[in-house]
């Protein structure tokens, strides 16, 4: 199969592209190398993909002509590209153009393909709102520009399934961590602070927040498995994550245990729109795609610390 992965040099996109290549597929990656965080880290991911034999194209999904720059014989699209997370440095326009306009452009491109089998949108638990503890049929209440625009993107994709114009699904991911996690995300920042003897900035009140911290390989298992269940997932929203909850403090303690050091904490003001609790309800994923995440928090942290040491020390 020929597969397009957008946001391919990002955290989860790069892992998915590699897995698909390892499965024997012809994978084409697209990324705009946004300066949201250090391009050197994205180049590190790009090098890993190129070494696997994956083509990586630099394209801006918001403005570049996709029909002229991408092939017409794509079988599957995995759409990871987005303005990520909740950040004070990101404007509403950043979220709107990267999450809505870019998605609409990828959809328009997809509708011109000769034999697209499935468009897989990568959503987020942030769509649910401050409490992400629900099955997929609960009405979403996003509490951030990120969640609002990701919900809009999801619905643009699923609209085409409802109109019978293409088969599609949306996967709502929960608190993913592991090697290549972005530098501003919790575990990479914790590890960096530990090795660099710096204080970790902890948002006020967040130590008791509950999260379905899900190791990236378990997420990728679910993402790629939809290829075997195209008819079953068409038009569906599916949660992907672990059912096991941990507090933020337990995450901090896990990193300290693996690194065998105390990590200093710098308490900072609470962040608007931050989720209080995420717990992945994955009954639907188990039923439709045989999803079964296995990696424990400690196992995942050990792998992420090893990755950080190999690449940054």
The answer, yes or no, to whether residue 273 has pLDDT greater than 80, is no
The per-residue pLDDT for 89 is 81
Residues 64 and 158 in one domain: yes
253 and 124 housed in the same domain: no
Q: Do residues 73 and 66 make contact, with C-beta atoms less than 8 angstroms apart?
A: no
In a domain, 250, yes or no: yes
- pLDDT at 277 > cutoff 80: yes
**Per-residue model confidence as pLDDT tens digits over 230-263:** 999 999 999 999 999 999 999 999 999 999 999 9
Backbone CA torsion sign across 126, 132, 134, 140? negative
Residue with structure tokens 């909850």? 245
Domain of 258: which CATH number?
3.90.25.10
Please indicate, yes or no, whether residues 142 and 232 belong to a single structural domain of this protein.
yes
Same domain for 254 and 236: no
Residue 12 DSSP SS3: helix
Q: Are residues 26 and 46 in the same domain?
A: yes
Residues in a beta bridge with 24 = none
Give a yes or no: residue 179 inside a domain: no
For the stretch 97-135, pLDDT in tens is 999 999 999 999 999 999 999 999 999 999 999 999 999
Residue 40 has pLDDT above 90, yes or no: no
- 100 domain-assigned: yes
Which pLDDT value is given to residue 312? Answer: 93
CATH code where residue 71 lies:
3.40.50.720
Task: Specify whether 235 is located in the same domain as 253.
Answer: no
Instruction: Answer yes or no: is pLDDT of 88 > 80.
Output: no
Query: pLDDT tier at 270 (50, 70, 90 boundaries)?
Result: confident
Q: Is the Cβ–Cβ distance between 183 and 37 less than 8 Å? A: yes
pLDDT tens digit string along 154-209?
999 999 999 999 999 999 999 999 999 999 999 999 999 999 999 999 988 889 99
Residue 54 shares a structural domain with residue 200 = no
Q: How many domains does the chain have?
A: 2
By CB atoms closer than 10 A (0-12, 13-18, 19+), residue 269 is exposed
- Residue 181 inside a domain? The answer is no
Please check whether residues 81 and 121 belong to one and the same domain: yes
* Three-class secondary structure of residue 242 per DSSP: coil
Cβ–Cβ under 8 Å, residues 78 and 103: no
The domain in which residue 205 lies consists of: 186-209+245-278+299-312
What pTM value is reported for the model? 0.96
Is there a single domain that holds both residue 153 and residue 226? yes
Same domain, 264 and 130: no
CA atoms within 13 A on the CB side of 234: 15
164 and 256 in a single domain? The answer is no
């Amino acid at each position: 199969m020929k597969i397009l992965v957008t946001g391919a040099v990002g955290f989860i996109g790069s892992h998915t592209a590699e897995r698909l290549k390892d499965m024997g597929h012809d994978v084409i990656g697209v990324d705009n190398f946004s300066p949201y965080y250090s391009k050197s880290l994205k180049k590190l991911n790009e090098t890993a993909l190129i070494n696997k034999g994956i083509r990586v194209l630099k394209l801006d999904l918001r403005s570049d002509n996709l029909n002229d720059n991408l092939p017409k014989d794509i079988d599957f699209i995995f759409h990871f590209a987005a303005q990520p997370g909740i950040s004070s440095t990101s404007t509403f326009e950043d979220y709107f153009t990267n999450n809505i306009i870019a998605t609409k452009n990828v959809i328009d491109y997809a509708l011109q393909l000769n034999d697209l089998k499935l468009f897989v949108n990568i959503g987020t638990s942030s769509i649910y709102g401050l409490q992400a503890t629900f099955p997929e049929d609960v009405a979403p209440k996003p509490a951030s520009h990120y969640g609002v625009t990701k919900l809009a993107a999801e619905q643009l994709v699923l609209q085409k399934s409802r109109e019978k114009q293409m088969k599609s699904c949306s996967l709502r991911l929960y608190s993913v961590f592991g090697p290549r996690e972005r530098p501003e995300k919790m575990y990479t920042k914790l590890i960096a602070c530990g090795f660099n003897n710096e204080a970790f900035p902890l948002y006020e009140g967040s130590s008791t927040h509950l999260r379905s911290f899900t190791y990236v390989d378990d997420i990728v298992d679910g993402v790629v498995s939809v290829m075997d269940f195209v008819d079953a997932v068409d038009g569906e929203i599916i949660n992907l994550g672990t059912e096991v909850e941990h507090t933020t403090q337990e995450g901090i303690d896990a990193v300290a245990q693996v690194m065998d050091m105390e990590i200093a904490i710098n308490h900072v003001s609470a962040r608007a729109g931050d989720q209080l609790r995420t717990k992945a309800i994955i009954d639907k994923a188990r039923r439709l795609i045989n999803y079964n995440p296995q990696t424990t928090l400690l196992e995942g942290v050990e792998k992420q610390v090893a990755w950080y040491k190999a690449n940054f020390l």
